[in-house]
Amino acid sequence: RCLCCVTVKMSVGFIGAGQLAHALVKGFTAAGVIATHRITASSPDTDLPTVIGLRKMGAYFTTSNKETVNKSDVLFLAVKPHIIPFVLDEIGPDIEDRHLIVSCAAGVTISSIEKKLLQYRPAPKVIRCMTNTPVVVREGATVYATGSHAEVEDGKLLEQLMGSVGYCTEVEEDLIDAVTGLSGSGPAYAFLAVDALADGGVKMGLPRRLAVRLGAQALLGAAKMLLESEQHPGQLKDNVASPGGATIHALHVMESGGFRSLLINAVEASCIRTRELQHLADQEKISPAAIKKTTLDKVLQQPGATAAGVGVRTGLNLFNSSTSKHKKN
């Protein structure tokens, strides 16, 4: 059965070929929501291990971001936040009406992206999303917010794509940094927890592999119970804690150590740092020291890219609209 006929008939491109692009492509292809020959990914850096992975999955890889833009309808910006302005300057002239730009960069606002693209098109369609690594096993958590020029169908299309690799819902943009703190960083908290639980199991005599397996399985099962239940997590916890039993003894030591508070702190810290990064980006300050010269050289070697066109100046204004004087004709 031809995968082209399954759902998404559009072409999808990724600017950036790192962990995020790799995870999304892996998820999308496993879900069969889009055929691999409709996927393009680009990066100036061909040495990344993820590049090999993408090729193996059948995605088309190129060093030219412009080529990706030309081949795509839905364009994911899967690069680090401070690279976004460079990318937008580079591909801005090639954006057409059909393009839906989806930024996955933490802390980069829709308005900052629209501001930049408005130099090139009157109504750039921009959506901002925050996802997480478990898209790679099709259990991701994704939220998105739509820009002023994106249509309802654009949101539905993104939801169809991201819904194939996990949970996906629309939110107001101002919630996205809180989501970053919770489900964006959440998997890291879980990996830490399983490592520690496995240590506990090993301390009490279990072999390591079994301890890791049981710890991860217990977390997975509990999370699934909560997702499939209408009950409060506290009620589910009560149901497991029999009077005078082993579990309530364990819960006591956790509470004594302020376990809950640590997790609230973590969500808060991640969210605050996200807002900080967003603020720094909006301030349009970036140190040239933050861009490797080698990466920059590679970008400049691309056909059609000029030093001026990608905003390489000692001046640090990334989202400054004065770059319009470098606009391609």
Of residues 210 through 249, those in contact with a copy of itself by CB under 8 A are 210-228, 232-234, 236-247, 249
Name which of 78, 92, 90, 95 is nearest 130 in CA terms. Answer: 78
Question: Does 133 participate in binding a copy of itself (rule CB under 8 A)?
Answer: yes
Closest distance of CB 229 from a copy of itself, Å: 8
Judged by CB under 8 A, the residue of 254, 279, 283, 307 near a copy of itself is 254
Q: Burial code of 296-320, b = ≥16 C-beta within 10 A, e = fewer?
A: bebbeebeebeeebbbbeeeeebbe
Q: What share of the chain is helix, strand, coil (3-state, %, to 5)?
A: 55, 10, 35
- For 293, the enclosing helix (H) or strand (E) is helix 293-300
The nearer residue to a copy of itself, 52 or 95, going by C-beta atoms, is 52
> Which range touches a copy of itself (CB under 8 A), out of 39-47, 128-136, 304-312, 318-326?
128-136
Residue whose CB is less far from a copy of itself, 134 or 311: 134
CB of 136 to a copy of itself, least distance (A): 7
| Interaction residues for a copy of itself, span 181-210 (CB under 8 A) | 181-201, 203-206, 210
**Contacts of a copy of itself in 139-168 (CB under 8 A):** 139-141, 143, 166-167
The DSSP output letter for 156 is H
User: Based on CB atoms, which residue is closest to a copy of itself, 123 or 137?
Assistant: 137
Rounded least distance, CB 9 to a copy of itself, Å: 28
Shortest CB 100 distance to a copy of itself, Å: 24
- Can you tell me the distance from the alpha carbon of 211 to that of 88, in angstroms, rounded to the nearest whole number? 47
> What letters, b where the CB count within 10 A reaches 16 and e where it falls short, cover 3-34?
eeeebbeebbbbbbbbebbbbbbbbbbebebb
Least Å from the CB of residue 38 to a copy of itself:
25
User: What is the rounded CA–CA span in Å between residue 287 and residue 82?
Assistant: 10
For a copy of itself, give the closer residue by CB, 122 or 244: 244
Q: Which of 32, 49, 58, 258 binds a copy of itself (CB under 8 A)?
A: 258
Question: Which residues, 260 to 319, sit near a copy of itself by CB under 8 A?
Answer: 260-274, 277
**Residues from 4 through 63 that contact a copy of itself (CB under 8 A):** 19
* Of 188, 187, 185, nearest in space to 272 by CA: 185
- Integer angstrom CA distances of residue 139 from 21, 183, 226: 16, 11, 15
CB of 55 to a copy of itself, least distance (A): 20
The one among 32, 257, 288, 304 contacting a copy of itself by CB under 8 A: 257
Give dist(CA 18, CA 46) in Å, integer: 10
Report residue 146 CA to chain centroid gap: 16
Task: Map residues 64-103 to x or -, x wherever contact with a copy of itself holds by CB under 8 A.
Answer: ----------------x-----------------------
**DSSP secondary structure letter of residue 183:** I
Residue whose CB is less far from a copy of itself, 4 or 250: 250
User: Toward a copy of itself, which CB reaches closer, 1 or 203?
Assistant: 203
- Cα separation, 308 vs 316, whole angstroms: 13
- Angstrom CA distances, 214 to 209, 238, 273, stand at 9, 21, 33
Choose between 217 and 294: whose C-beta lies nearer to a copy of itself. 217
Binding range to a copy of itself, per CB under 8 A, among 57-65, 252-260, 294-302, 314-322: 252-260
Query: How far apart are alpha carbons 230 and 194 in whole angstroms?
Result: 26
- 124, burial (CB in 10 Å: exposed 0-12, middle 13-18, buried 19+): buried
